[in-house]
A and B are shown apart, each in its own frame.
Chain A
């Protein structure tokens, strides 16, 4: 589906008003002035989440970092967290710091300056729990990675453009569905 077709569908009477409002908001949910993170943290979060969702900075499907920043600033959340992690906002700040620390230790560069392949390899070590650095000694890398990956994925696939990519049109909710007969 092209961006124009998607936009036309969202504006059509196949979508109810409450749903349309949300989708339109999400289509333009991008910022360069983060409300929760510092500029540096935000740039790092963008770089990390671009890897997690295999996006390129100049052709993003969804600006996940903005969506994470917005929800942390609004102090909303899923209503729970792992006991071994601090509050979500703090968890992200520590985790991002840890990722950059690992990058400096492994490659003598900031994470944002690594190649995509180097970034992905580093993130794999965080996920597996054997990334280097002092941060990870008192902050569980695998748990943090799980928090960040799940949230990133949820924001990504809530974006209409990502939903178009997977051929999902359930948001066209003005009428009911026929259940497919297989």
Chain B
């Protein structure tokens, strides 16, 4: 790996190496730019560093404490925030559906929420590229959305038991289902600059770190490409300061590495630390907030799960969790809410299941021991849907300092009316599906997934933090490329779109800086 000196003015410092940072890193390095990526966490070697043990793998989740407030306080860490080279893609489940074109125009269609300053057509070439480069497995014909220019490069992964049950349960209800798109290899796959990656072995620990490289986390896909072209990745480097010079532009980034402070000089900064840490850094450094939108518009997808017991062995941890999908509810007929949702099969590891069971139902003691004995026979499905931005959902800096002397973020989150109505609709639909599939002892878990929207992109500098190219309206050489910039949640799982938006931001930067 090429190394740069800290007092060398590199072309770009990228903060964060997840779904936002890695595409920028790869694109800029391939274009010949000098790139240094700063990652707060470790650079893991999964085959030797990852155990098939959930508690041990908590090391992949963001450790620095957030304060969770509101009527529906979010669980952070394992649910939505990674640390380590690869970021949250180290623990994402690799669900990679595309959004629909109308996902970008919620305000136009419903007069609620916000429109994107982009259209599906602007991102489509990046979806094509990513599905091919990451090796996304999916059906020959995808039944929903506009016709596609490219097909998935790999056939769908084996349907896990929840997927088989969901298929069974949806049929009598005339709900169309399909094998889903997942960023995991159903066959061995060759990628330029990387070599051969192995096929998925159904270990089912996608959410606790893939050990075989079959899941397309950034550390086994785009980051090696970036390094091949001369990018430097500095792990264990926690960014604390972004220094703006008298010119009004960013000159350097300060970070703490192994207890010492270092400063990297740079011409541009791409902030890709996710929808909690990106605004937190901007607020701490008092940067880029003339719009007063930094930290505002916090969204988290509606994600109710329905669980049930079945009369045969399900082994819910085996296989890719999201084997099956239905997007029939993208815009349900007669819906009393804006936007829509999709339904996915899910898998679950034992500690996660137990934790969710007690948190959602409050069960303990003998009853808990008995309920858990049914784990081998449980299966679940979840909705994944829109969430509107509200004034009451936001991130702020608290007065409490962490052990680096930085203020801890406090996130206020409460579901609004739209989310409640959508969730009620989905709950009924999913309970019907699960009943038809043969589930007994059904229980459901209200939850929200992901962190979105806190540095919104748009055309109006008074209402948005960055423009449609991810560039700060206030500081011309500061860019944001992560899920902070989403003006709306989209009904689709975010990772693929984060990567596509990030590629687009990188391409616009290269075009405008030549």
Contacts and interface: CB of A to CB of B under 8 A. Distances in A.
A157 B61 contact: no
Given A79-B63, A154-B55, A182 B164 contact: yes
A53 to B, nearest CB: 7
Contact of B66 (A23, A75, A80, A181): A80
B165 A158 contact: no
Question: Chain B: interface secondary structure?
Answer: loop
Interface stretch (A33-41, A98-106, A145-153): A145-153
Q: How large is the interface on B (under 10, 10 to 19, 20 to 34, 35 or more residues)?
A: 35 or more
Q: How large is the interface on A (under 10, 10 to 19, 20 to 34, 35 or more residues)?
A: 35 or more
Contacts of B66: 79-81
B316 to A, nearest CB: 10
B75 A153 contact: no
A153 to B, nearest CB: 5
Contact of B203 (A22, A155, A177): A177
A77 B55 CA distance: 11
A60 interface: no
A87 B366 CA distance: 30
A178 B201 CA distance: 8
A81 B68 contact: yes
Contacts, number: 170
Interface stretch (B24-32, B145-153, B354-362): B354-362
A163 interface: yes
A21 interface: yes
Contacts of A52: 364-365, 368
A99 to B, nearest CB: 14
A19 interface: yes
B53 A19 contact: yes
Contacts of A21: 51
A79 B77 contact: yes
Interface string B70-109: 0001111110010000000000000000000000000000
Contacts of A155: 55
Contacts of B160: 179
Contacts of B76: 78-80
Contact of B365 (A53, A150, A163, A171): A53
Given A54-B365, A182-B314, A79 B350 contact: no
B503 interface: no
22 contacts: A19-B53, A22-B55, A23-B53, A52-B368, A54-B368, A76-B63, A79-B64, A80-B74, A80-B75, A123-B364, A146-B359, A153-B357, A154-B55, A154-B351, A154-B354, A155-B55, A170-B203, A170-B204, A170-B205, A170-B318, A177-B201, A182-B310
